[in-house]
Structure formats: structure tokens, C-alpha cells
Chain A
């Protein structure tokens, strides 16, 4: 996924919704991946690499948080709870900035491969020159893989924190999950650049809320 995001294909396997869900499947807690990925997908929806300037890294926080939440659930002996999802999101959200920093560093490092390609072309080794393109990929694979593994490894430590946390902290974390989801949805609406986005968003949210309230009342009735 680290390679697919930019180096090869860009078929969106590295988008937060997909990458985090896959991470959840791999760790045996698909719901954690799905609901963590959902928030990050909305949060990073408007990010785009334009003219060589990169946006915050969207895959790294999503995969790290999904790993962390799933690992917390596993350590607690059950599926992760919304409080665990929220804690993982809160810890991993800044990784988007760290990922961007790392990405820019790796881009600068890739200059040396271009230098090698120029020298190889000058000496008539055209195949070797072309292959430099593939050599630039491996650092991304190694660095992002290590970071995600570290996030998963931190899960058990955090699980013990959640297990020993007072009920008020757990309650606060549980409440913060939908609040962060709404904040991420607001970021997505603002980033949509749609004409009349505010009225469209208001209409859509009102209709959805009305349908859900109606369904709930019908169920209670």
C-alpha cells in the first residue's frame, strides 16, 4: 500500500477507507479498520498532490490507527470499542504531517537515482538508467512498513491504559468518536469545492437525520 499510493498505479488501495479496513481484516477486527478508516477518509478527502507539492500523508495515520485500535481490542480479549477507535485516531492523526515530512525527505533522496540515470545514459547503459526508477521505491516500502508495525506494536500498551482508565475517561473517548466523525465530515464538505456546498450539505444531513429519527421512532413504536 505504501508503494501503491504514489509509486505505482494509484488505484486507491492506499486510501484510508480501504487501507484501514484491510488492516482490520488482517488483524482480525474488521470493524475497527472500517470505522477508523471512515473518519480518516472524510478527513483527508480533499487532499491532492498538485504540481509536485504533496498533501498530508493519508495512508499512514489510517493504517497506524487501525492497527492500534485492533491491537487494543485483541489485548482486551474482545473487539475494539468506539473509545479505543477514538484514542487511536487522536494519537495517529498527526502522523499525516510526519508522513508528509518523510515523503519529502525520500523525494530528496531520490535525486541520487536521477544522477545515476544521467551517468548511465551518458555511458550508453540505457537499461541501467531506466531501472533507477524502480530502485527509488524501496525506501518507501521499508520506512512506512516499519512505522505501521510500530503502531500495531503499541496497541497492547494502550490497551492496558484503556483497561485501567476511569469510567469518565472512557465515556469522554466514546463521545468523542462521533464528534470527530462530524468534524471530518465538515472538513470533507468544505474541501468538496462544490457550488452551493453549504445548502447541499444542510439538505443532505437533514434528510439523513430525519430518516434515521423516523426509523428509530418506528422501532420504538
Chain B
């Protein structure tokens, strides 16, 4: 009988891939997570227990990528394991797929999800606080997870169907262009929130001085950006701002 992976097993593997970082350690990194995700596939691909153990051992080498991009890696590994089980591929192809793609996919995932989408949706979520109040975090979750969950599902399916040919498909998405746009959104939304805070809570400093206090905060924000760029630790900036405001409240 030709080895194949039933839909339910694929769904189970996709679900398990959500735990890819559960057993993260400095040396093995996500290897335990990969082992856990792939485990339901072995009985369908290899009839002999020895062959199943050999398949499991193939994936005990260090593995690390972006947790969302891991969906493409898990799908791709299944693609090549299926070829191997059918006698149409070899184990070197699987190792080559892992070693050549986990780094670039990690860079792509870090750049888009961690350094662009998450900051942008987070900053917009915060900027929605004046309008939506306690519903702003919900808006953030919906916006972020719409992209996140669609991307993770798509990456798994494309990886499974195409193997290494998922790379040209990813290029078509023009991820760096979207990343740059999202970073602009982050800067604009964050600065807008800073200005809103000075006005909203500057009023607490008392009547006529409120506008002046807000202007000082505005200057503090500009100096703050410059200081962070000059490698001043963010914690020092946070405490410095609190100290300045506290001192001003005594002297004013």
C-alpha cells in the first residue's frame, strides 16, 4: 500500500506544530517541538517500528526557526518524508531542506512578524484606547491573529504541497515591502499615543499649567527618541522621565 497522510493526521500535526517552542533549550532549541509535531506521521509513513525510530532520529539534530515559519518547515519535512516512504526520495533531501531553509525562514518571520506586524498592530491597538477603551486590546488581537493564523495555515499547506518550492511562492508576497509600511505605521501610532497622553493626563497637573506641561512632555518625547538611538537603556529613560516629572511637580 502506498504511504499517505490522512487529513486528520495532517490537522493533528498542524495543531502540534503550535507547541514548537514548548521544550525550547539553548542547545537543542526547537528540536523537541519538531519531534512532538511530526510524531503522528510515523505510523502512517513507515510500517516497521525500526523505520519509525530511524525517522524520529533523523530529526534529533538542532532545529530552530521562527515559530510561525515552522509551519512551512513541518509541512515541507512531511513532503519529503512522504517521498522517502514511497521510495521516491532520500534522507539527504530532508536534511538539505531543513538546513537550507530554517535560517532564511527565521529571518523572514522575525523581520515581518516580530519586527513589523506585531509592533504595528500593538501600536495601533494602543492608539485605539482613547476611542475603544477596554475593547482596544480585542481589536489588536483580531487584527494580529487574522494575519497570523491565515499565514500559519497557508505556510503549512504550501510547505506540504511544494517542499522547497515554497520559497518562490513566498517571494511573490513581497514581504519586505509590507514590513516597511508596517514600520511606518508603528512610528506614527506610537508618537500619536505619546501626544495624546501628554494632553489627556497633562491636564491632571492643574489648570493653566496643563498646556505648558504638555509641551514639555512633547520635548521629552523628542529627546527620548534621540537618547534611545544613542544607546541609553530604555529603563533609564523611563525612570529619568519619572524623576524629571516628579521634580517638576515639586518646583512648579
- Say if the beta carbon of A205 comes within 8 Å of chain B: yes
**B60 to chain A: which residues have CB within 8 Å?**
117-118, 121
Given contacts A8-B19, A121-B60, contact A193 B225 (CB under 8 A): no
11 more contacts with CB within 8 A, not counting A107-B26, A190-B228, are A13-B141, A121-B35, A127-B39, A134-B19, A175-B205, A181-B197, A183-B224, A188-B119, A192-B183, A194-B183, A206-B195
- Say if the beta carbon of B49 comes within 8 Å of chain A: yes
Q: How far is the CB of B52 from chain A (nearest CB, A)?
A: 6
Query: How many residue pairs at the A-B interface have CB separations less than 8 Å?
Result: 346
Residues B249 and A174 in contact, CB atoms below 8 Å apart: yes
Given contacts A43-B234, A133-B19, contact A38 B239 (CB under 8 A): no
Q: How far is the CB of B59 from chain A (nearest CB, A)?
A: 9
Cα–Cα, bound, A184→B202 (Å):
16
Beta-carbon nearest neighbor of B25 in chain A = A110
Residues B245 and A175 in contact, CB atoms below 8 Å apart: yes
Q: How far is the CB of B12 from chain A (nearest CB, A)?
A: 12
**B23 to chain A: which residues have CB within 8 Å?**
110, 113-114, 117, 132-137
Given contacts A51-B106, A126-B52, A175-B248, contact A111 B26 (CB under 8 A): yes
Q: Which of A6, A10, A34 contacts B129, CB < 8 Å?
A: A34
Residues A41 and B28 in contact, CB atoms below 8 Å apart: no
Interface of B is mostly: helix
Number of interface residues of A (CB under 8 A): 102
Could you tell me which residues of chain B, from 233 to 251, have a CB within 8 Å of some CB in chain A?
Answer: 234-235, 237-250
Q: How far is the CB of B199 from chain A (nearest CB, A)?
A: 4
**B33 to chain A: which residues have CB within 8 Å?**
133
Q: How far is the CB of A42 from chain B (nearest CB, A)?
A: 6
Cα–Cα, bound, A9→B148 (Å):
10
With a 10 A CB-CB cut-off, give which of A114, A135, A178, A209 has the most chain B CB atoms.
Answer: A178
- Say if the beta carbon of B80 comes within 8 Å of chain A: no
Show 8 A/B contacts (Cβ-Cβ < 8 Å), sorted by A: A30-B134, A114-B23, A126-B39, A130-B39, A134-B19, A189-B190, A208-B199, A213-B199
Q: How far is the CB of A204 from chain B (nearest CB, A)?
A: 4
Q: How far is the CB of A181 from chain B (nearest CB, A)?
A: 4
Cα–Cα, bound, A177→B235 (Å):
15
Given contacts A37-B137, A195-B184, A205-B191, contact A12 B241 (CB under 8 A): no
Beta-carbon nearest neighbor of B116 in chain A = A193
With a 10 A CB-CB cut-off, give which of A12, A121, A179, A187 has the most chain B CB atoms.
Answer: A179
